[in-house]
Structure 1
Amino acid sequence: MKIYIVAPYSAMEASLKKIKNNYDGVTIDYGIGNIYDGLKLAKNAGNMGYDAIISRGGTAKIIKKYMNIPLVDMKLSGNDILKAILLANNGHRTAIVAYPNITTGAKEIIELLNLDMKIYTINDDTDITQLLIKLKKEKIDQILGDIVAVSKAKELMFETILFQSSYETIKISIDYAVSLINQLNKQSTINIIRSKFFEKSCEDYCILKGDRIFQSKYLNYECMPVSYENLIGLKYKNKNKYNSQNTIYIDYSDKLQIQLNRIMYNNDYFYLFKFKKLYKDMLYPEGIISYTPNILYRLVYNSKSMKKALEECVDLSKKKTLLVLSSNDYFTIENFLAYIHNHRDNTSNSILVDLKIFKNENIKTLSSYSVKNIIFNNITTHDQLNEIKKLSNISNKQIIIITNESNWIQDEDFILNTIILPKTKERKEDIVEIFDFYISYYHNNKGTTPLKMKEDFICDFDKIENETIYDLIKVLDSIINNSKDLVIGMDEFELRLIKSNIDLLRDISNFTLEEVEYKIIKLCLEKEEYNQTKAADSLGISRATLWRKMKKYNL
C-alpha cells in the first residue's frame, strides 16, 4: 500500500517526518507544493503507482478536479482552528481570510470567545489581492488564513499566521486513507470473487477467506442460519472433496441445504456457502402446498357486510365443519383464510390443495396429514365435492372450499355452510383502513414516501367500487412505489387504474397470438408474485400447463 501526501506548506514537513514510518506495510511519501505545483506532484505520484493522495484545501480541490485517484482532503480540526485563532489574538488588528471549510468553524469560535476579528470567506472567483489591499486601507495589519491568502498577504507586507494541520489531524487523514484503500481493495476482490462464484444472483450466502468471514448477505434470514463454528467445521469436514467436485451439497437439516464451493485468488482460498431453505411443499405430492397467510392481507371489518360474514365464519369454523368461501376477490378470500389459520389455536397449520392437479381418488388420504386446515381450490365437479364430503366425515380437520362462484353447488351440506363474501361496493367503510395499512407497511419496511390516503378519498368511492380489492391493491402498489407525495388521492388512483387498463390493451393489439399469450402469462405471474398455483388459477389452466408455457417462453 502506497500513500503520497501533497503538503501545501513547508511547516508540515516536521510532522510528516515523524509519522511516515509509523505504519507497517504502508509506504508514505510526501512533497511540498501548493495548488498547481501540488497538482504536478500528485500526477507524478499517480504515475508511480501510489494508491491514494492526501492534501488539503485548494490544493486538494484542484487535484480532485484533474485526477481520477482516491483523494483524502485533510480537514482542519476544531482544535487546529482554535490554536490558530488564539495565536492571532496578539494585539494586532486581525482579519481571517479563508475558504468556507475554515471560516464556518472560525466564526463560531470568534463569537464564543467574543474576539474582535473580521472574517472574509473566499472562493475560486475571489480576487484575493484586491481584497487584501482593501483590508490594508482599513488598517488591518495581520492576516490569519490558509496558504493561498497567507502567501499573498506576505507579499503585501502583512503580519501572517497560517492555519496549520496538527500531527493528530495528519494522522487521522492517513488512517482514513489506509481504511479507504483497504475498502476499495476489498470491494475489488469481492467483485472478482463474486464473478467467479456466481452465475446469477444469490439471496443468502457467506464467503470465508481462510477461516474469517469475508462477505455475507442474508435476505431470508435475520442472521447466518448456522453458527460460525458449524461453518468452519463443515469447511474442514469436506476438505478432501474440493478437488473431486465443483459443488458440494450438504443437507444440514430438513429445513436447510448448504452448497459449498472453493476457489483460489491471489494465493488465498475463498469458500462460498450458499444457504437454501427447504420448504414443506417439497414433502407434499404435486398439487399440494403449505399455506402461510400474507401479512399484507389484513382482515378489516368496519362494514356491516364484513362483520356479518366474519360472524358466520367464526360460528362455522368453531364447529370444525365444511366451510365454503365464495368470492371473485382473492384479497377478501385471503382475509378469511388468514383469520381461520391464525385463530383456531396457536399451532394451526394449513395446506392448499389444487384439484386441477391433485387426483380426486387421493382426497381421502389427506386425513392422515398432520395439519389443522385443508383448503381446496379449483373445484369443478360434483365428484370432487363428494370426495371432500367423505373426507369431512372421517376427519376432524377444518375443510375449506374457496370458489369464485357457488351457484353450481347443489348439495345441501355445502349450501348451508357457504359464506358469500362481500364485494368491494359493500366495503366502503373498510377500504381506507385497508389501503392505509398497506401504505404504512411499505413506508416502515421499504422506505416508500406516501403515508396515507387523502381524507376525501372515500367521497369518490363509486369510481372504484366495481373493481376487486385485489386489483385495487395492485394499483395502489404501483402508486406507492413511484409517488413522491405524502398522501394519495382519488385523482391519482383513478388515473393509474385507467392507465393500467389502456396500456394492457394497447400492448396486446400490436402483438401476434403467441406474443399475446406470452404477455398475459408474464403479467399474471408478476401479479401473483410468481406463485404458479395462483397464476394458473387466474389463467384458468392447470399448473402443469402453466409450467410448460413458462418453459416455452423462458419465463
Structure 2
Amino acid sequence: MEQNHILENKNRSPRPIRILGIAPYKGMKAIMQGLAAERDDIDLDVFIGDLEQGVEIAQRNIHSNYDIIISRGGTAELINQITHIPVIEVALSVYDILRAIKLAQNYADRYAIMGFPGITENAHLLCDLLQYKIDIFTIHSQEEVQKTLKELKRQGYRMVLCDMITNTTAKRLGMNAILITSGTESISAAFDQAVKLSTSYASIKAENNFFSDILRNSSHYTLVLRQDGEIFFSSFEDAHTFSLLNVLKKELTNVLNGTTLKFFRNVDGTLYSFTCCSISLMDRSYGVFYFTSSPVPLATSKYGIRYSNQQEAEDQFFNSFYSITSSAGNLQATINNIDQTAFPIMLSGESGSGKTQAARIIYSKSQFRGNPLISIDCSLINDKSWNFITNHYNSPFNDNNNTIYLSDITALPENRLRQLLSIIIDTGLCRRNRVILSCSFQAGHGIPSKAMEFVNQLSCITVHLSPLRDLINEIPTLSSLYLNTINFSMTNQIIGFEPEAMELLKQYDWPYNYTQFKRVLNELALITTTPYIQANHVATLLEKERSTFTSSIIKSKKSEADQNVNTSASASDIYPINLNRTLEEITNEIIHLTLERNGGNQSAAAKKLGIGRTTLWRYLK
C-alpha cells in the first residue's frame, strides 16, 4: 500500500499554474475561460475590470496564491505597478485590429483608430499593407483620452476604433465606438508565456499557502489592514469591498489600540456583522476584521413603482440599446431646451421607441438629478400600489424636488386616469417636482385622446420619439454598433451581415421598434456560427416576428371591440380612424373591423356595411 503511494507521488504531474485573469469586457473573459478549459497546465480565475477597477481586483487578490496575472493594455501596466506578482499583457494582434475594421465598414460617417502605441503601431502596419485610408491617433496616457476624443469630435469624427477606456469615454461624450477585442490567438499566446515564466517563480510563494488556505476556507470573511489603512490580506471578493473599507478604516485606530470590537453596519444595502482584534507580526500591528454579510430587506420598490438615483439611471441608460447605438442623439437639442423650463413633459411614441430611456436621460440632465427618479409604470399598478400612491403619507406625490416619471398612463382605467389628473392638479405636483409622462400608440395614430387631456390640462411639452422605420437608412450603423456590444459577451465574434440579410432588416416594418430590433439582433447573434449573419436566418426570424405581431394585433383589436360593445349601444359604433392615409387603407381598416365585430360572419358584416358578400369577399382577397 505504501509502495503504491510512493509510485503515485512520483508519477504525479506538476501543479497547474494559477493565473488571475483581469479582462476589460465579458467577451474576453469567456474566451479566456474557454481556452483554459482545454489546457491542463493552468488553473484560471478571471474577473472583469478595466484600468482602476482592474487594479482594485488585483489588490483584492494579491494574497490569493496566484502565480501570474494576465490583463490587457493600460490595465496590465497599472497592475504591474502595485504588485510583486508577474504581470503578462495580452498583446493586440494585427488580426484583432482587422476584425474591428471589418465591423466598422458598415458605418456611414467618418471614423478613426485611436489608442496606445500597442494598438496604433499594428494599425499603421495593417493600413499600409492593405492600403486602408483610415486616420490613426496615438495616445500615451489615460489623461489624454478625453482631450483627444473631444478634438476628434470637433474635427467631425463620429466613431473611433479603440480600447476599453477610450470606448467608455467616447460614449460618455456622445461618440460611437467599436472596441478592438482580443482574439483567441492573442490570449493563447499570453497563456503560453505565463506557463514559461511561472516555472522559475512557482516555489517563491509556497510557504504562504498554508495559512492563506485556512482563512479562505473559513465560514466567514477575513480582512487585514496595515497601520496605514492599506489592505494586507483579504478573503472577501465582493464588489462592496472598497465601500466597506471606509467603514473599517474609521474603526482601525480603536482596534490597533488593543480593543476587541463587535458591531453591525449597513453598507450599500448589505448588513455586516464584524468582530475585530489586533495581531502583531515582526513588531508591526495589524487590524484583523472577521465578518459575515446578509442582504437588508429594504422596501425601495413596490409593484409598478421604482426608485433610482442619478448613478443608477445613468448606468441603465448608458447600458441600454438606445445609448449603445446613439439613438438618443437626435433628442439632445430637445433635452437641452427642456431643461430650461419647469413644464411637465409628455413623451409619446410607438411601443419600444425608447420613452423610458428618454425619461432617464432627461432626469440625469435636470436640476433635480441629485434627488431620486421615481418611476411609476401605470401598466403594472395594482390596487395596493394605487392606494399607496394616492393615500399613503409616504406617497411620492407628497414629496418635493424629485423627478416623477408616469409611464404608459393610458393603461390606467378611466376612473383612475381622472383621479390621477385631479391629484396632479389639486396638489400642485408639477410645481413641486419635475413630472414626466408617457403614452404609447400604434402606427398611423397620434397621441390618444386620454393622454391629450393631460397635455392640455397640465400644459405639457410634447416630445415625440420617432419609430425605427423612419430611420431605416441608419439600420446598418445601429446593427454594427450593437453587434460590437454583443461581441463583448460572446466567444463567436460577428463581423456583420450578408448584404441580402441587411436588406431584409431594412425592409421590415419593426412595429415594436428598438425593443424588437435589439431582441432580434440578440437572437440572430445566438444562432449564428459564422462571421457574417446570413440572409436565411434573418428571413426565418422576421417571418416569425410577422406572425407574432399579426396575432397580437388581432387579439388587441378583438379585446377593444369587446370593450366597446360592453360600454353602450351608441359607443359600440364609435372607432377612431386615422384620416392621414389613402382611401383604400381607410376602407380596408373599416371592413376588417366590422368583420371582427360581427364575429367573422361575412353576411352580417356585409349587411352592416351596406354592400354585397361578393364585394366584401373581393376586398378581403
Normalised to the residue count of structure 2, the TM-score between the two structures is: 0.40
Normalised to the residue count of structure 1, the TM-score between the two structures is: 0.44
Report which structure shows greater RCO (CA 8 Å, sep ≥6).
2
